[in-house]
A and B are shown apart, each in its own frame.
Chain A
Amino acid sequence: MQENFVEFNNVYKRYKMGEVTINAANGVSFSINEGEFAVVVGLSGAGKTTVLNILGGIDSCDEGKIIVGGKDISHLNSKELASYRRYDIGFVFQFYNLIPNLTAKENVELATQICRDHMDASAALDSVGLHDRKNNFPAQLSGGEQQRVSIARALAKKPKLLLCDEPTGALDYSTGKNILKLLQTKCKEDGMTVVLITHNSAITPMADRVISMRSGKVISNVVNEAPIPIEKIEW
């Protein structure tokens, strides 16, 4: 397992709103090891989404260095970023972002068809426990099921890094828990590095590493030596 698989080194991201400059990331530095289940927590506006966007290649930083799997992604152009997203990143959205016009399987295929090394779409869906719903359209699926499809879509690409943006935000408690369980399992069983953003600090005990942010800065980066399985966590 690689140490410092993900490394943020004094990363800045500034948004100009008229005359005011907002430092969404104000010298963020942290590192995550390969195979870790990392949770970034913080209040709204703490800069955690910014960090996730930069890490996911959706956004770029203004300053600093980001290394993922030994590759510096801080100076990639948009095309290289697209390739990076394509091959290295799996993204799980808060609102699933499934294409409503495609069936579950097709949504997964949408991701796999652009990847050279990918899982079979059915297998990916099987692995998230959706054996029977493969040919259903998103509208025919429940939220949890949709999120599973979303996860399957992310995992099918065999990414180096799985990024989850409040994956339970739109789900009810137990469904959310199931999703988290799925993610934890994927991390533990497949050795997938997972970075999860949440404002819900209650779930931090399940993480291998907890990075707390406030006002665009990392205020703590704690390694949890003994993560607790999600089933045991109540909130």
Chain B
Amino acid sequence: MKALTKNIFREIKHSKSRFLSIFAIIALSTGFFSGIKSSSPSMITTSYDYLQKNNLMDIRIVSTAGFDDDDIRAIKNMDETVDILAGYCSDLIVTDNNIDSVVRVYSLPEKTDTADKLINETILVEGRYPSADGECVIDSYYFRSKGMKLGHKIRFNEQTDNIKTKEFIKQLEYKVVGVIDTPLYLTYQRGNTTVGDGKISFYIMLQPDQFITERYTNAYVTTKASELYYDSFSDEYKNEIKKEKDDFQKLSDERIDVFRNTTLADAKKELSDAEAEFNEKKKEAEDTISDGEKELYDGQQEMADKLSEGIKKLNDGEKELADGKEQLEEGKKKYNDGIEEGKAKLTEGQAKYDEGLAQYNKGKLQFDTEISKAQSQLDKAQGEFDTQYKLFYETTKPQAETKLNLLRSAIELCNSIIEETERKINDFELITGSDTELTALYDKLDEYKSKVNEYAKQYDSGMDQLEEGEKKLNDAKAQLEEANKAFEQKKAEGMAQLNDAKIQLDSAKSQLETGKLEYDTALVQGMLELQQAENKLTEGEKELEKGKEELLTEKASAMLKMKSAREKLAAGKAEARTQLADAEAKLADARENISNLDDARWIIFDRTDNTGFSGLIEDALRVDKVAAVLPVFFLLIAALVCLTTMTRMVEERRTEIGTLKALGYSNFKIISKYLIYSALASVSGSIAGAVIGISSLPFIIVDTYSMLYTLPPTILSIDYQSFIFSAATGILCTCVVSVITCMGELKQNPASLMRPKAPKPGKRILLEYITPLWAVFNFITKVTFRNLFRYKSRLLMTVIGIAGCTALIIGGLGLKDSLSVIAPLQYDELTVYDEIYSLKSGGTVQEKAYLMSKFHADKRFAETALVDQNNISIQNTQNEKKFNYYYIVASDINDFEKFFHLRDRVTHEKKTLTDNGIIISERISQLIGAGKGEKAIINIDDTPYTVDITDIAENYAGNYICMTPAYYEKITGKTNKYHIVYTQLTEDGKQNEKAIADEWMEDDDILTVFLLKEQLEGIISTLDSLNIIVFVVVLCAAMLAMVVLYNLTNINISERIREIATIKVLGFYDLETASYIYRENIFLTVAGALAGLPLGTLFISFIIDALQMEIIMFPKYVTIMSYLIGFALTVVFSLFVNFIMFFRMKKVSMVESLKSIE
């Protein structure tokens, strides 16, 4: 080995840290640059490779009417078509734990006969493909995220939005037998649907035979485009696809016509037939129902009749029974009475008889006595009579006759006196005598007159008494004779009576006897009869009981029968009604289907319509944009550091150069040492950096994006250009610098070279002339300042290097700030809404007003605004590129302003919509290059209108063009079709955001609802992906800062080793020595970091400009915190480097100070 070569290696060995710092900084910058630059292509290659390998369709056609085999054949026969896969797809609902999730059910790709490669080939991650009924394979992401196991069963609801699951697929339950990925989904977002909550949770795939649907729903087509152009992200591919899509569109028109004329016509006919049938059936069913109803009614009536009859009978029976009972009782009583009576009669009879007998006997006795008595009386009376007779005629009669004669003589005397007196009276009266004499005459007359009367009477009575005595005697004689005769007669009579009585008694006796017999017979017979009657009654009672029971049972059973009949009828009715309703609904569905099918069309998608696909491209491009900006900056700093280092090195080796030159080495040889040195450091550095950077960064970045996308392991696609560019920059910087510096040195002659280069002379610095300030400084500060300004280039290099690092860190953090501020800024300050409802198209103004009144009535909404919002394109008046945005026309400007806070970005001055023009978002203005007061062209329904831009409004996400209804009408001549309702919820409402949305979705007039919260999640996840880049940037900036600081401090120390040694000899302690150097370092760091702050701002604005997207404007917003962190991190790194350097300084040998200056 030549001495010179040896010298090179020894040089490297001796200046390891310098070599390594060049190596490191070149490695870092090259690695970072080529690594980041390779990320985007790697991402695209990985995904493209994945798509190509799995043969992702180029074009997907969905027909609202489905495809039949003829359609598929027609597509297949297209020139563009390479292969086609017809498949099924439907969205069904699975309810698990009360949560509905929408599952997209696909048919697994099938082999076609034309190509041997499956279209949209799935990748089996685990398990196997389904081979039997009821088996499925599932979305790997969902499988993993739910911690599912193979064998899990997925059970669909029987119905999904009025459509039966079994109309689509064979079974309700499917067992998971395998886990797959499909190229149809690049992201973990499963997309949207019209059923359920509108969000697809996951997908499963079934064998095609599991689908019942007749017509294919999807046609996946691989076309010439992907055969021709490998890169489906390329413009060539896109153009080709665009052409192909047009052709397919043409085909679609033809096929739809065919469909209309055949299938649809058939279907229509079928429908009308079905309708007729339905009507017939309906009538039939109704008849049946009414018949049944009538029958039921009759039955009911009959039953009621029967029942009442039974009851009546029963009642009669009961009454009869009661009567019987009564009769029995009566009979019993009668019987008892009869018995009693009989008995009494008998007893009475007996008694009578006995009495009769006794009477008879008594009578007889009496008779006998009486007879005898009468005999005696009679005898006595005879005697008496005889006595009387004798007395009267012998005494009484002659006495009485004497007396009477006397009386007659008295009467005659008295009469003679009376006669004399009377004459005297008469005479007196005639002579008028005295009254007293007359009165005495009248009294004498009266006295005699009464005496005559009395004598007369006494005579009469005597006469009477005599006559009466005589008569009495005659009477007594007659009486006696009569009594005798009566006696005789009475005796005979009594005898006869007695005999009669005797006969009567005897007959009574015999009668009594007979009566007794009869009584006895009657007693027994009555008893018997009573028994019988009782028996009969009991029997009757039993029968009645039975009858009652029977009636009850009968009634119950009849009721039951009736009830079941009624139920049957009701059920039948209900069933019939349901069936009818079903049939009707089906018919309605069919009708609607057919009417929908009437405007059946094919929707043609390409790969970019896949959200994952376009998202991936955007992400890749974003990475690339950052890669384009950041590492360039990085590289600049690296180059700067290399420059400093190499300059320093060549200067240090001045003597050696001189010696070599003196020894006669050619300039080239001498330079070659430094060239080789720097080349070795930079080439090895850039290679090592590239290897490390390329083998790590793309993987880190792509893998992190893989968290958002379903991608196979990253395929590295190295961006050689950027590698070469960065390596070349690094290598050139170091090498060229060393060459130039060497050349500069070599211009001098060897002698002067060999003389130690006079240390750069000390100089008064500008600061010293500011005497008051300078006087204030202590000695060390003065020294520090003088040292600082001694090597101005180094000062500059250090400050720039450190400032660069600070700027990089701030750049990274600021990017994050900018991203994280978008959502709050946009949705808290600029466009404030919670939910957007889109109304079904059509509807009159009144209907809209009614709907709006419903919105107003819902107190959970704090504010609502009805707007017209649609996609339009806008371009500048030079007819340059069109950009698609949406316009908003508010029905009410006041409402509008509650939702859209139009303002200036910088001054926050409020902007007001006028009827003179439009206000557009700032990003739109930037893109079309037209500002306030200028004109632009907007295309509404393909008609261009030139509009005036009256103002520009701050906006970040969801850029828009807004105008008043008056202006809209002015430019288009049409009125707005308001169909979007913006709403703000109350605080309470915000708690139930989803519930409110769900509730409103029930409303037939609401088409969709859009929750800000859900959109925010999407935005946030997009922005989160950028955080990876931020992280990489900050990390690399930190590393760069470390290396730069280390390198610069290292240079600083090695340049001043002699100085350090000297002050050590002077007795400076280690810390004093260190601080002697560190003051400068700290000053440089602080100065650099400070300079980095504005540089950071500049840098962020640079990055953000590069990142700006069409749909989002990134605000140039950096928090104070980010500046602080950037500053602090730099200082911390610097302190850390100084800390490491402290030990190096400690190791500086004082013996160095004794050495001669080299």
Binding site for B on A (CB under 8 A): 49, 53, 56, 58-59, 78-79, 82-87, 89, 91, 93-95, 97, 99-103, 106, 109-111, 113-115, 137-140, 153, 157, 165, 170
Contacts and interface: CB of A to CB of B under 8 A. Distances in A.
Contacts of B1070: 78-79, 82
Given A79-B1069, A91-B1065, A100-B761, A109 B1153 contact: no
10 contacts: A58-B1065, A99-B1062, A100-B759, A100-B761, A101-B790, A102-B786, A110-B779, A110-B1063, A137-B761, A138-B762
B1066 to A, nearest CB: 5
Nearest to A79: B1069
A58 B1151 contact: yes
A97 B759 CA distance: 11
Interface in B1050-1080: 1058-1059, 1061-1070, 1072
B787 interface: yes
B1065 A137 contact: no
A112 to B, nearest CB: 9
Given A111-B1066, A139-B762, 6 more contacts: A49-B1154, A78-B1070, A83-B1067, A83-B1069, A86-B1067, A114-B1067
Interface of B: 758-763, 779-780, 782-783, 786-787, 790, 1058-1059, 1061-1070, 1072, 1150-1151, 1153-1154, 1156-1157
In this complex, the member of A100, A106, A109 whose beta carbon has the largest number of chain B beta carbons within 10 angstroms is: A100
Nearest to B759: A100
A139 B758 contact: yes
B916 to A, nearest CB: 70
Given A99-B1059, A106-B779, A114-B1067, A94 B786 contact: no
Q: 4 tightest CB-CB pairs across the interface, nearest first?
A: A86-B1067, A139-B761, A137-B762, A85-B1067
Given A87-B1067, A165-B1154, A110 B783 contact: yes
A153 to B, nearest CB: 8
In this complex, the member of A49, A93, A100, A101 whose beta carbon has the largest number of chain B beta carbons within 10 angstroms is: A101
Contacts of B1069: 79, 82-83
In this complex, the member of B786, B787, B1062, B1156 whose beta carbon has the largest number of chain A beta carbons within 10 angstroms is: B1062
Contacts of B763: 137
Contact of A113 (B760, B779, B1151): B779
B783 A93 contact: no
Contact of A114 (B759, B783, B1068, B1151): B1068
Given A86-B1067, A109-B779, A97 B787 contact: no
B786 A101 contact: yes
Given A58-B1150, A137-B761, A139-B762, A94 B1156 contact: yes
B661 to A, nearest CB: 24
Contacts of A115: 1067
A59 B1151 contact: yes
Nearest to B1067: A86
In this complex, the member of A58, A59, A140 whose beta carbon has the largest number of chain B beta carbons within 10 angstroms is: A58
Nearest to A100: B759
Nearest to B788: A101
B762 A100 contact: yes
Contacts of A83: 1067, 1069
A95 B1156 contact: yes
In this complex, the member of B780, B783, B1156 whose beta carbon has the largest number of chain A beta carbons within 10 angstroms is: B783
Nearest to B1146: A78
A78 B1070 CA distance: 9
A158 to B, nearest CB: 12
B761 A106 contact: no
A82 to B, nearest CB: 5
A95 B783 CA distance: 21
Contacts of A100: 759-762, 790
A162 to B, nearest CB: 13
Contact of B1062 (A56, A97, A137, A157): A97
Contacts of A56: 1065
Contacts of A87: 1067
A114 B780 CA distance: 11
A137 B763 CA distance: 7
A140 B779 contact: no
A101 B787 contact: yes
B783 A97 contact: no
B414 to A, nearest CB: 221
Nearest to A140: B761
Given A53-B1151, A99-B1062, A100-B760, A89 B1067 contact: yes
Contacts of A153: 1066
Nearest to A83: B1067
B336 to A, nearest CB: 151
Contacts of B1156: 94-95, 170
A89 B1143 CA distance: 25
Given A89-B1067, A101-B787, A165-B1154, A114 B761 contact: no
Nearest to A82: B1069
A85 B1068 CA distance: 8
Nearest to B784: A101
Contact of A102 (B783, B1065, B1157): B783
A202 to B, nearest CB: 22
A93 B1063 CA distance: 12
A94 B762 contact: no
A16 to B, nearest CB: 15
A84 B1068 CA distance: 10
Contacts of B1154: 49, 53, 58, 93-94, 165
A235 B251 CA distance: 115
Contacts of A97: 1058, 1061-1062, 1065, 1153
Contacts of B783: 99, 101-102, 106, 110
Contacts of B782: 106
A93 B1062 contact: yes
Contacts of B786: 101-102
A95 B1157 contact: yes
B1153 A82 contact: no
A83 B1069 CA distance: 8
A102 B781 CA distance: 12
Given A95-B1157, A110-B783, A85 B1065 contact: yes
B1153 to A, nearest CB: 5
Given A93-B1062, A95-B1156, A110-B783, A103 B1151 contact: no
Nearest to A91: B1065
Nearest to B762: A137
A24 to B, nearest CB: 11
A49 B1153 CA distance: 12
A87 B1068 CA distance: 11
A99 B1154 CA distance: 14
A103 B758 CA distance: 16
A83 B1072 CA distance: 12
Contacts of B761: 100, 137-140
Contacts of A137: 761-763
A197 B1067 CA distance: 20
Contacts of B758: 139
A67 B787 CA distance: 38
A137 B764 CA distance: 9
Contact of A93 (B779, B780, B790, B1153): B1153
A95 B758 CA distance: 12
A170 B756 CA distance: 13
A179 to B, nearest CB: 17
Nearest to B780: A113
B762 A91 contact: no
Contacts of B1150: 53, 58-59
A118 to B, nearest CB: 11
A80 B626 CA distance: 56
A113 B1067 CA distance: 11
B59 to A, nearest CB: 76
B960 to A, nearest CB: 64
A122 B1112 CA distance: 71
Contacts of B1061: 97
B779 A85 contact: no
